[in-house]
């Protein structure tokens, strides 16, 4: 959708999508990121917002949060639904997981490396390192990110 709009409108659409993450309601069984995140430091929380274009044609808005006494996490807006995922250790890039995803009994993994990201689904309860079933491959949209403290 954003690829066909003029740049000014595309930027506005991206901001609307990123802003919508914090206004969407939680899905049943969704990880409560604030309640379940383990404290890591007392540094102020930083926020990085990114809009991804995916191979399927969908767009995924991501809001990366770190610091503020909590573990790193990401809030994703996928097809109008918000999901909270927690960071887990991984050999390369960054991996965020939740046990309850787009459908009951299915978890979500969001693995980023450089400008690329992969969305996969797993069976709930599988180890965080399980590869899962690919859902979509995505790339950061140019000039789509903002950072704040």
Query: What is the per-residue pLDDT across 1-29, written as a single tens digit (0 to 9) for each?
Result: 322 223 333 333 444 444 444 444 444 33
pLDDT attached to residue 134: 93
- Domain 2-148: CATH superfamily is C-type lysozyme inhibitor (2.40.128.200)
Distance CA 54, CA 39 (A): 32
Q: In the predicted model, is pLDDT for residue 54 greater than 60?
A: yes
Distance CA 149, CA 142 (A): 22
Higher per-residue confidence, 147 vs 28: 147
Q: In the predicted model, is pLDDT for residue 57 greater than 60?
A: yes
pLDDT attached to residue 148: 54
User: Mean of the per-residue pLDDT values for the chain?
Assistant: 74
Higher per-residue confidence, 61 vs 99: 61
pLDDT attached to residue 31: 41
Q: What is the mean pLDDT of residues 87-103?
A: 88
pLDDT attached to residue 145: 55
107 beta partners: 122
pLDDT attached to residue 144: 58
| Integer angstrom CA distances of residue 113 from 58, 96, 110 | 19, 12, 10
| pLDDT bucket at 105, cuts 50 / 70 / 90 | confident
Q: What is the mean pLDDT of residues 88-107?
A: 88
Rg over CA atoms, the chain: 15
SS (H, E, C) the chain: CHHHCCHHHHHHHHHHHHHHHHHCCCCCCCCCHHHHCCCCCCCCCEEEEEEEEECCCCEEEEEEEEECCEEEEEEEEECCEEEEEEEECCCCCEEEEECCCCCCCEEEEEEEECCEEEEEEEECCCCCCCCCEEEEEEEECCCCCEEEC
Q: What is the mean pLDDT of residues 138-142?
A: 94
The whole-model pTM stands at 0.67
């Amino acid at each position: 959708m954003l690829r066909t709009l003029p740049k000014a409108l595309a930027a506005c659409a991206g901001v609307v999508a990123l802003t919508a993450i914090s206004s969407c309601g939680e899905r049943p069984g969704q990880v409560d990121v604030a309640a379940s995140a383990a404290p890591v430091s007392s540094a102020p929380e930083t926020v990085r917002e990114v809009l991804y274009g995916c191979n399927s044609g969908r767009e995924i808005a991501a809001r990366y949060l770190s610091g503020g006494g909590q573990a790193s996490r990401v809030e994703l807006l996928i097809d109008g639904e918000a999901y909270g995922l927690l960071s887990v250790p991984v050999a390369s890039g960054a991996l965020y997981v939740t046990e309850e995803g787009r459908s009951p009994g299915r978890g979500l993994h969001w693995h980023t490396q450089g400008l690329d990201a992969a969305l996969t689904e797993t069976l709930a309860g599988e180890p965080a390192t399980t590869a899962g079933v690919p859902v979509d491959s995505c790339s950061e949209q140019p000039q789509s990110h903002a950072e704040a403290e």
